[in-house]
Every structure is written in structure tokens, then in C-alpha cells.
């Protein structure tokens, strides 16, 4: 688990004033997925990073300012792409249903 807390990921120890945070949860059929990956693609569609989802379906990226695409890969589901805007000093919360 990625330090998940009830209701979402803990931000303890993270200076949110200097980070552009993109985080959220992946669900399937209304339930959190525990197996899968979320990829971070830049504005041209190039692969930048990938993280596994936690046991509660949560993920987090520290990104640069700008528009990004999250590509969610879960066994038994089609990939799902979601656009997200990241900005230093803010947290982009994204819920992704596959």
C-alpha cells in the first residue's frame, strides 16, 4: 500500500506548496482495484512515468506544471485515458472508473 489512509492518500511530510501533485483512485464496478498501473504521459503522449495502484486503488505522481494524460491499465478492462492539469501548489484529485 502506498501509505493510503481512509478517504485517500496521506500528504503528511509533503510540502504541497512546492509540488504539482496528481493523485486519485481507480475503481471498477464501484469498488477500488488492487491490481493495475497508472501511466503519466506528457502533452505529446510520450511515456513519462508509471506507478502501480495501491491495495486501495490509489496512485500519486509529482508532475511539472501543465497538461498530462493518465493512462490506466487494469487486468480485464480496456485502458482508460484521462486528461489532467497539474500546477505547483495544487493537488489534482482524479477518480478513474474502468
Confirm whether 8 is domain-assigned: no
Q: Per the domain annotation, does 2 fall within a domain?
A: no
User: What per-residue confidence (pLDDT) applies to 8?
Assistant: 65
pLDDT tens-place string over residues 16-56: 678 899 999 999 999 999 999 999 999 999 999 999 999 99
Number of structural domains in the chain? 1
Question: Global pTM?
Answer: 0.84
Rounded to a whole number, what is the distance in angstroms from the first to the last CA of the chain?
Answer: 20
| Cβ contacts of 46 within 8 Å, gap of 6 or more | none
Position 3 in a domain: no
Please check the confidence at residue 14 and state whether its pLDDT lies above 90: no
pLDDT over 70 for what percent of the chain?
A: 91
Q: Which domain holds residue 50?
A: 19-97
Which domain CATH number covers 92? 2.60.40.10
34 in a domain, yes or no?
Answer: yes
Please give the grid coordinates belonging to residue 86.
497539474
Amino acid at each position: 500500500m502506498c501509505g493510503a489512509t481512509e478517504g485517500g492518500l496521506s500528504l503528511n511530510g509533503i510540502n504541497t506548496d512546492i509540488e504539482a501533485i496528481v493523485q486519485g483512485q481507480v475503481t471498477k464496478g464501484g469498488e477500488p482495484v488492487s491490481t493495475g498501473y497508472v501511466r503519466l504521459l506528457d502533452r505529446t503522449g510520450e511515456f513519462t512515468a508509471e506507478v502501480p495502484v495501491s491495495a486501495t486503488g490509489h496512485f500519486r505522481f509529482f508532475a511539472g506544471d501543465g497538461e498530462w494524460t493518465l493512462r490506466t491499465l487494469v487486468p480485464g478492462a480496456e485502458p482508460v485515458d484521462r486528461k489532467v492539469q497539474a500546477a505547483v501548489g495544487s493537488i489534482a484529485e482524479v477518480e478513474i472508473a474502468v
